[in-house]
Amino acid sequence: MSIVAIVGRPNVGKSTFFNRLIQRREAIVDATSGVTRDRHYGKSEWNGREFTLIDTGGYVKGSDDVFEAEIDKQVELAIDEADVILFMVDVETGVTGMDEDVSKLLRKVKKPVLLVINKVDNSKRNADAVEFYALGLGEYYTIASINGSGTGDLLDAIVKVLPEREEENNEDLPRFAVVGRPNAGKSSFINALIGEDRYIVTDIAGTTRDSIDTKYNRFGFEFNLVDTAGIRRKSKVKEDLEFYSVMRSVRAIEHSDVIILVLDATRGFEGQDQNIFWLAEKNKKGVIILVNKWDLVEKETKTTKEYEAKIRREIEPFTDVPILFVSVLTKQRIFKAIETAVEVFERRKNRISTSKLNDTMLDIIERNPPPANKGKFVKIKYCMQLPTPTPQFVFFCNLPQYVKEAYKRFLENKMRDIFDFHGVPIIIYFRQK
């Protein structure tokens, strides 16, 4: 899936525009906040084309502020990784020195750059927008992100310059993406599986750079392994590695069926691990968690249970995820990890017949009906699985607006237990009968 990055100086309305785009469709994945200032990831769709949207922080060249310097690195990295760049400016303030700094950066980029002039909500401001030709980026698009004016034309332009869809090789084979923080052991995990140093593995966090597929065919398993791997030039090691890992994970996650999230046991389940986990969950991928370097952890009787319980608290409410404690160095349980990933892939394809689903779930609902709300009683009459690639179910009732999230979660948990969706996100809808 293509990546579209929104860049520009602070306070031009990037986040407002981002929020508008990701809420454009019911099925769009919500934004996931990053671990540093003003960075969000989301998924949008227009005219049948989906793309990942990244809202970066405001670019301030030469700032002494530590946060702004960090944001600047992330903006430059987003420009490097994105397929299309939206350069947003503000018609109210006109062309500023910071706008000129960004435009100089973007004029060197050999990829589509769309100049977006925000806050153009009347004819006078439309005339004022002409001054932005001075930035040397050619034609521009005028929008008002606060009310959505002009966004349709801009989205048409974005879709027009998106790269052509890539042909999927071995499309009948499942794709397992190995993702995680820098230096968690992702490449070492794959090397241990395939029995050779297929990937560059060093002690330097962020050694890997490009996403590479490897066909795995051993012990009765056949699938494509997707690793955010490759060779990283030493001059690039200074980049923001945490942001980089999420950028690469976005692509890997969206093109895969099951996500193998590798943690470093000595560091624990940290904020960046959680961000990557929720990217997988929101994209409705199967998930397993590998706690790597378990051989380096000092253990007592309850260490494993306590560690697992802590992870499950961090990933609530989607806690029904396989968690395996492994050591890539000693190859402890790494083949069990692959076996588990295959099982999750098969569960993700589960189809429940309508008759079986109704016989099971309507009996549970009759014994545990939705709580009354404002004196209204919800009556669920029928349910069915939707013909979607991932497990999605619809329950038909008289008052869908009164069904609370807690009751949805109750039904989801029952379905997980009964129909074995361990490690697989499922979606439940309530519709008017």
Task: List the binding residues for GTP.
Answer: 8-15, 55-59, 118-121, 180-187, 227-231, 292-295
Residues 6+ apart with CB under 8 A from 122: none
Question: Using CA atoms, how far apart are residues 338 and 335, in angstroms rounded to an integer?
Answer: 5
Please provide the distance, in angstroms rounded to a whole number, between the alpha carbons at the two ends of the chain: 36
- Report the C-alpha gap between 22 and 31 in whole angstroms: 7
- As a whole number of angstroms, the longest Cα–Cα distance in the chain is 72
**Is residue 52 within 8 Å of residue 2, measured between CB atoms?**
yes
Q: In what order do the strands lie in the sheet with 211-218?
A: 211-218, 221-228, 175-180, 258-264, 286-292, 323-325
Cα–Cα distance, 354 to 376 (Å, whole number): 28
Rounded distance between C-alpha atoms, residue 131 and residue 167, angstroms: 42
Would you say 113 and 85 are in contact if contact means Cβ atoms under 8 Å apart? yes
Q: Which residues are annotated as a binding site?
A: 8-15, 55-59, 118-121, 180-187, 227-231, 292-295
Give the whole-angstrom CA distance, residue 328 versus residue 159: 42
Q: Is the dihedral of CA 103, 105, 108, 114 positive or negative?
A: negative
- The 8-class DSSP code of residue 60 comes to -
DSSP 373: B
β-strands 392-397, 427-432 pairing: parallel
In DSSP terms, which residues pair with 258 in a beta bridge?
A: 176, 286
- Nearest Cα to 307, choosing from 282, 324, 321, 330? 324
